[in-house]
């Protein structure tokens, strides 16, 4: 995960302190029977891609949460 270097404060934790928001219920069902007309290899490939994309979205969400925490600290320090 990419993190922004802090000028005068330690870097934000890798995981947000608040519970992460769920990623739009995009969990792949690996045990689900393939739908009729869909090749099982194609379905497996799509499930793999979905897991990878979901992981990337989660990483981005963690980075955004860390950035928001940093912005909140800056606003608090500036008295905004």
pLDDT of residue 14: 53
CB 76 within 8 A of CB 36: no
pLDDT of residue 1: 47
Q: What is the pLDDT of residues 43-68, one digit of tens each?
A: 999 999 999 999 999 999 999 999 99
What is the band of 6 on the pLDDT scale with cuts at 50, 70, 90?
low
Q: Pull the structure tokens for residue 52.
A: 């990878």
CA atoms of 59 and 16, how far apart (whole Å) = 11
Which residue from 20, 19, 28 is spatially nearest to 61, judged by alpha carbons? 20
What is the band of 38 on the pLDDT scale with cuts at 50, 70, 90?
confident
């Amino acid at each position: 995960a990419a993190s922004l270097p802090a000028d005068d404060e330690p870097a934000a934790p890798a995981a947000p302190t608040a519970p992460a928001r769920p990623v739009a219920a995009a969990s792949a069902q690996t045990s689900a029977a393939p739908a009729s007309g869909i090749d099982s290899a194609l379905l497996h490939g799509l499930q793999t891609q979905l897991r990878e994309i979901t992981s990337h979205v989660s990483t981005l969400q963690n980075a955004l949460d860390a950035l928001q925490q940093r912005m909140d600290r800056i606003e608090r320090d500036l008295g905004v």
